[in-house]
Structure 1
């Protein structure tokens, strides 16, 4: 049975923010690396269209790329399969590797896994069918299309069965989030006052962590509405910075906004502008640096898979803390105790404040990508170009991750401790995963 994925649902007119970047490969383009990039972009385009919350998007990326990676790991001495390295991971053995084309098997596993985790199945299937046809046109002598597809299906079936035991389905049936009435507790924010997103994500089975709370960050600053208190000063910093943003700070905040569902309000009309998720942004970075480096198919798959895995882990850790501390957002606090008409530059997302999801997953992804490609890798990030924003240049993954983290202060949606503590949390999550998973570093 197809899994039901949680979306942010409102009676709105949906507009896609930016054109899709998937290009149609030429028929003679049977390069496996290029086809994997195309497959990833097709998945991303569909997820932007289908509006997945950041945690759910991370789950889709992780399982789909792990399926493709598992196929490829059987055919490369440079890759290590995930058996015995990931929680409850299935043991998968191909019956006849000699006749299997790894590219076709990987694309088919990617397709079968991905389509069960999204809504727009037909669009995604049509894209991947086209890619499989291109891959099949270059089938080498001695390789069997049917054997390759059977191998891909074997992996996809195994990954989907395994993913079905991660408690995701159970969280779909749980009661809606009950708001606390305690002083300093999180409440929904304007303009949509949307319901809490994934309050039970802590229940999702981690890939390598012992528990969702293993890397719970330092506690948030104790709430106080008293002027001059430590908490008041944190809110005052957000408020003051928002009033004197430089051009550069504004551009940074907008570049890293990555709000999958930005609600526009015009009178009685509400409509959404859809963009890539924060995890999706880092998955794009993994892909663009792979292309920039001329990485082969196996290294490219390793980069995508390792990044997807650590982002998935990062969201589990971060969301556990969010609904543990349930801290009030700057917008709510400032409106109540400083300036009732104030609005942040960015739209406050519908979940508690501490810790910062951008900080956690950006730090985690940067650590993993540094492991794959090395330190001081300069790159131009054009992820947001399809959404109307210019590209930005970075000297390293770490520099990009720190900019992504501080962007949340500039955007007016996080206090500084959520950023600092979240960044440390992400580094710890990544370090733990790298100490337990070897993809062939």
Structure 2
């Protein structure tokens, strides 16, 4: 096993978080914090439920839905007109913005969204503050939706056709058992929220096929990632299975934990959710750029057909996704999520429990955001679907994209 990656200090992340997540104005009074958290969490859960019930088939499209809805909310609550009740205005603005965006992006859930919207507004005192807040939410939702039309993140564009390259050493080929066409190629052609170009932080190339690092990567995944591995422990198998599912789904609860535990007001909470998902959309765009720039073959192809002790019958623990190896998408997601959560709430948090839809009955407990990243790095090797080099490159890429998002958050929210 290679030593853990070096990482920026907590001081660096806290400095970034202060610049990106805190508005210039003072925080909302603590006396209304509990009520504001209730409104934010209601619509956080509503967003998650909406996407789970009727979201898109592609993860990045669903990340885009989160980003648009909560960016509209964060903009709507950032400034309050003089002479009106701040709490009522901000709650109405957030509710209206998220509702309007979700109805537009997930119209099949309009009935359920409308019912939750009515219930939420019934809890806001009537009057000018509520009316102005509703109007602000609708206005910001329309602006953000309009700015993201035709951004290339709809499912058809995400999975744009990709011609299979000619076979060769190290070159990606469709993988067993289905040998499906490549997916997510179109991500690298999409319009980011903040990145200047999809290749802005492109990682370096994967290890050369004749390098010691490549040999070590291949030996590790061959031994620990095979379906019938005699050296992988039951706990390691559980780790691989636990982190097999959608990163968007698996990180919904950690983000909610950070949101529910903060004493910050509604404006900062909305900014956290928006910035988290903006960073993750851009991370997924950057990930696909790297994958299709390098076209590195997956471990199953390397082990079955490569020059290093080929084994035509080798099979990974889990089915290999239909896109190239380098960098690992799960780990770019983890690196970016860790960076944003750390900026918002510090590296450590009180213990929280996490479950996974791909590991029914298993509950794991965490006290740092870094633990999630570390397990993702191990999980993709133990699943037999990524090399450690691809995993570690993914973590670095995700952190770099997230840092950039934190540093340039003013472009999303303005200075108000």
TM-score band, normalised by shorter chain: 0.7 to 0.9
How many Å apart are 1:232 and its aligned residue? 4.6
In structure 2, the residue corresponding to 1:240 is in which secondary structure?
Answer: helix
How many Å apart are 1:427 and its aligned residue? 1.7
How many Å apart are 1:216 and its aligned residue? 0.7
1:162-201 CA-to-partner distances (Å, cap 9, x unmatched) read 0115344697399621000131322222333333222121
Match of 1:250 in 2: 237
Distance 2:131 2:323 in 1: 46
CA gap of 1:204–1:96, structure 2 versus 1, over 3 A, is farther
Counterpart of 1:53 (choices 58, 69, 77) is 58
Counterpart of 1:189 (choices 165, 172, 175) is 175
When normalised by structure 1's length, the TM-score is 0.75
Match of 2:96 in 1: 108
How many Å apart are 1:385 and its aligned residue? 6.1
How many Å apart are 1:395 and its aligned residue? 2.4
How many Å apart are 1:278 and its aligned residue? 0.6
How many Å apart are 1:300 and its aligned residue? 2.7
CA gap of 1:309–1:96, structure 2 versus 1, over 3 A, is farther
Distance 2:258 2:128 in 1: 31
CA gap of 1:32–1:359, structure 2 versus 1, over 3 A, is same
CA gap of 1:109–1:178, structure 2 versus 1, over 3 A, is same
CA gap of 1:379–1:432, structure 2 versus 1, over 3 A, is same
Distance 2:317 2:140 in 1: 45
How many Å apart are 1:51 and its aligned residue? 5.1
Aligned residues: 369
Distance 1:325 1:96 in 2: 57
In structure 2, the residue corresponding to 1:116 is in which secondary structure?
Answer: helix
Q: Give the conservation status (yes or no) of the 8 Å contact 2:280–2:337.
A: yes
Farther-moved stretch of structure 1 (229-238 vs 425-434): 229-238
The question of 1:73 aligning with 2:78 is answered: yes
Match of 1:44 in 2: 48
Distance 2:177 2:84 in 1: 55
What's the Cα RMSD here?
3.0
Distance 2:384 2:158 in 1: 33
Distance 1:59 1:130 in 2: 23
How many Å apart are 1:313 and its aligned residue? 1.5
Q: Give the conservation status (yes or no) of the 8 Å contact 2:97–2:141.
A: yes
How many Å apart are 1:381 and its aligned residue? 3.6
The question of 1:208 aligning with 2:194 is answered: yes
1:337-360 CA-to-partner distances (Å, cap 9, x unmatched) read 433333222221121110011111
1:287-337 CA-to-partner distances (Å, cap 9, x unmatched) read 123224465433332321221121112111111001111111112222334
In structure 2, the residue corresponding to 1:101 is in which secondary structure?
Answer: helix
Distance 2:159 2:256 in 1: 36
The question of 1:199 aligning with 2:185 is answered: yes
How many Å apart are 1:229 and its aligned residue? 6.9
Counterpart of 1:150 (choices 107, 128, 135) is 135
How many Å apart are 1:371 and its aligned residue? 0.8
Q: Name the structure with the higher helix share.
A: 2
How many Å apart are 1:33 and its aligned residue? 2.5
Matches within 5 A, 1:264-413: 277-293=246-262, 296-337=265-306, 338-384=310-356, 388-413=360-385
Distance 1:170 1:404 in 2: 25
Q: Give the conservation status (yes or no) of the 8 Å contact 1:285–1:383.
A: no
How many Å apart are 1:157 and its aligned residue? 0.9
How many Å apart are 1:60 and its aligned residue? 1.9
Distance 1:115 1:47 in 2: 11
Distance 1:31 1:126 in 2: 25
When normalised by structure 2's length, the TM-score is 0.79
Gaps of 5+ in 2: 1-33
Distance 2:62 2:208 in 1: 32
Match of 1:139 in 2: 124
Q: Give the conservation status (yes or no) of the 8 Å contact 1:290–1:300.
A: yes
Match of 2:219 in 1: 236
Q: Give the conservation status (yes or no) of the 8 Å contact 1:108–1:152.
A: yes
Distance 2:218 2:115 in 1: 52
Q: Give the conservation status (yes or no) of the 8 Å contact 1:35–1:131.
A: no
The question of 1:418 aligning with 2:404 is answered: no
How many Å apart are 1:436 and its aligned residue? 1.8
Match of 2:113 in 1: 128
